[in-house]
Each structure stands twice: as structure tokens, then as C-alpha cells.
Amino acid sequence: MYGLESIAANNGWAISVVGVSIVFSGLVLLSLSISRIHKVLDLWDNRNDIRIFCKKPQERSEPALLPFTEKKKASARQFRLLVKTMDDPFSLHRLLHLAEISGLERPHSSLCHLIKAGIIEPDHQGDYFFNREAFDRYAS
């Protein structure tokens, strides 16, 4: 048996159709991949914008819950009164000066404690403001 007859008898037509399909599918996939390659390169170039590759920005940690003794609470209330006499936002070293001349006990470390607790916060332009929520949380 020779020729077309032999091909038909040994599933040659089916095998050739499968073969052609495999090669054709491969070529289609290859051409699709090549046509999308610019997208992949764009993605790689801008990988820093992709969230999963972004380095987590160092977040300023929330001020730790500092212990506020009755003395410190009283000091916070005194500072609050002084702040009320000032503009908003206010000058931090003016506040320190007022605390000193008002005779507050250990004004420097008390002020430092309020800053660490987030009760006094910077406006990042050189002035500071009084955070009432933090004050209520710690010292009210």
C-alpha cells in the first residue's frame, strides 16, 4: 500500500492536522507574545509605580502611649492654657519662654513630653499646633 491510501490507513491525515494545529497555535502564541512585549517592557520600566514593588514609605510611627502621671497631666493643662493665649499655629520657643516665665515646673522636659505624645505637633513650616484629641486622650 502506497501514497494517499497508506496515509489514510495509518491516520496520517489526522496526525498532520494535529501537527499543523500545534505549529499554528505555537506561532499564534509567539506572535501575540511579541505584539505585547512593549507592554511588558513599559511595565518593567515603571516597576516602581506598581504597588507590589513599591517600597513601603517609612511611616512616622504613631506616638507611643506615654505614661501621664497626675503631675504631667497638670503640666499639660497649664501648657494648654498658655497655648490659648497664643496664635494658632504658635511659636514653640515662645511657648517655652512663656512656660519658663510662668514658673512651670521643668518646662523643657514637660514640653518634650507633650511633643512626644503628639499633643503638640509641628505644622512643618516652623510653627506648632495643639492637638486637642491627643490632649483629651492623655491629659483630660
Partner 1 sequence: MSGTLAILKKGTIFSSLAPTDFERLGALMEKQDIQEGETLAMKKERATRFFILSSGTLLIAMDDGKSVVMDRPGDFIGMELLSSKGEYINTVIALENGEVLAIKRDDFLDLIQEDSLLAETIMHHWNSFLEENVPFVEQKEIPGMAYHY
Q: Which of 12, 19, 26, 122 binds partner 1 (CB under 8 A)?
A: 122
Total binding residues for partner 1 by CB under 8 A? 19
Q: Which of 102, 106, 132, 140 binds partner 1 (CB under 8 A)?
A: 106
Per CB under 8 A, does 126 bind partner 1?
yes
Q: Which is nearer to partner 1, 42 or 87 (CB)?
A: 87
Are the CB atoms for 73 and 138 separated by under 8 Å?
yes
Q: Which is nearer to partner 1, 3 or 126 (CB)?
A: 126
Our measurement of the distance from residue 117's CA atom to the centroid of its chain's CA atoms, rounded to an integer in Å, reads 22
Kindly state the cell numbers that stand for 128: 506648632
**Could you tell me the CA-to-CA distances from 102 to 12, 57, 78, 129 in Å, in that order?**
104, 41, 10, 20
Question: Distance between CA atoms of 87 and 81, rounded to whole angstroms?
Answer: 12
Q: Which of 36, 77, 108, 132 binds partner 1 (CB under 8 A)?
A: 108
Residue 86 C-beta: closest distance to partner 1, Å: 10
Residue 126 C-beta: closest distance to partner 1, Å: 3
Question: Distance between CA atoms of 108 and 124, rounded to whole angstroms?
Answer: 21
Are the CB atoms for 53 and 104 separated by under 8 Å?
no
Residues that bind partner 1 (CB under 8 A): 91-94, 96, 106-109, 111-112, 115-116, 122, 124-128
